Amino acid sequence: MEFGMILILFVASIPTILAEDISYGTIVVDGTTSIAQTDDNFVCATIDWWPHDKCDYKQCPWHYTSAITLDLSHPILTKAIQAFNRLRIRIGGSLQDQVLYNVGNLKSPCHPFRKMKHGLFGFSKGCLQMKRWDELNHFFNATSVMLTFGLNALYGRHKIKGSLWGGEWDSSNAQDFIKYSISKGYQIDSWEYGNELSGNGVGAHVHADRYGKDLIHLKKIIKELYRGSQFEPSLVAPGGFFNQQWFTKLLQVSGSNVLDAISHHIYNLGAGSDPKLVSKILDPNHLNKVANTFINLARTVQTHGPWSSAWVGESGGAYNSGGPHVSDTFVNSFWYLDQLGMASKYQTKVYCRQTLIGGNYGLLNPQHMFQTPIITVHFYGIV
């Protein structure tokens, strides 16, 4: 079980707050040997698309924290991001592959997300207006954010059977969106393609060979549109749960130097409704189980895509918005610190915490932001 330096400091302080008859031990940190090296912007947080009426376990913890509705003028939000030298933010999530960009020759009506019985994840398609995209980029520029943006990988496709989607990806809307971003001078560090469509997917999935061909096509679009620019954004994918056969096929089909980073998601604590959530967080044996995912992904990348690096594109501990009164408390910091250490050990270059704000697992407490000047921050186990 790998813990960060701050946890070590916390452990070292325990004797001052516990009874006097405790047994003392010695912690030795060998700072002379390097185990692995992370990216300069290893720590990352996400902003999701979920609207305020996304509910789990009879509660609705998202409030107005989506990329579309988040109050970008709130000083606490600004100060929290600026506390980092340069924070990477990933905009993405379950509704990512239903987002339409209202720019260029959009072929579909562009309306806000609304609940829809037979829609993917119970919601309709949603719209990102360019006015809002402008606002987001002005905010990110002012706070020195390094942005990873997740593109819709289902546009133009249709459901074939069960959760399998097929047909050609229509890249026109994404291409118009990227063109607009370039014309405005927006600095996008990386474009990510799709969300949780790997393997059997979550809600929807696409075959790896088709996905790999899409990446080749998207890479060509990026290279063409950014030709002559001083900076070319990286291409990241697939932003889904690790399936060794699927990920291997993806790298084989897409080929060398197409995919710059291969991203996967981790929710190793299970459902947010699990009454044993705290026990899992405090159990080193349970936390260590996910090490196999890191090990196998590292081997897959080394064998089939050594030109690419491994990212954790989304990790919130417990899925379905996190665990009420657990994911939003200090105890969840033990899971987070362990994940940061483990990801680092196995050559993960970026680790994106779900979320910066929104759900029960947010690093910032939206209720405090919207009601009082008090805020709960869980960065690195600090509350």
Are 358 and 63 spatial neighbours (Cβ–Cβ below 8 Å)?
Answer: yes
| Whether residue 314 lies in the annotated active site | yes
Which of 20, 135, 168, 196 is the catalytic position? 196
Residue with tokens 């196999």: 292
CB 129 within 8 A of CB 110: yes
**How far apart, in Å, are the Cα atoms of 279 and each of 269, 317, 354?**
10, 13, 21
Beta-bridge partner residues of 357 = 364
Strands 126-129 and 146-151: unpaired
| Cα–Cα dist 210/212, whole Å | 5
Rounded (10°) CA dihedral 24, 29, 35, 37: 120
Fill in the amino acid letter for 268: N
Question: In what helix (H) or strand (E) does residue 265 lie, and over which residues does it extend?
Answer: strand 261-266
- H/E stretch holding 224 reads helix 208-225
Q: Is 196 a catalytic residue?
A: yes
Residues 6+ apart with CB under 8 A from 147: 88, 89, 90, 91, 137, 140, 187, 188, 189, 190
Question: Reduced to 3 states, what is the DSSP secondary structure of residue 109?
Answer: coil
What distance in Å separates the CA atoms of residue 127 and residue 269, rounded to the nearest whole number?
A: 32
* Residues sharing a CB contact under 8 Å with residue 109, sequence separation 6 or more, in sequence order: none
Residue carrying the six token digits 């003392």: 24
Answer left, alpha or beta for residue 319, where phi above 0 means left and psi between -120 and 50 means alpha. Answer: beta
**And the tokens for 1?**
């079980």
Give catalytic residues, as residue numbers: 196, 314
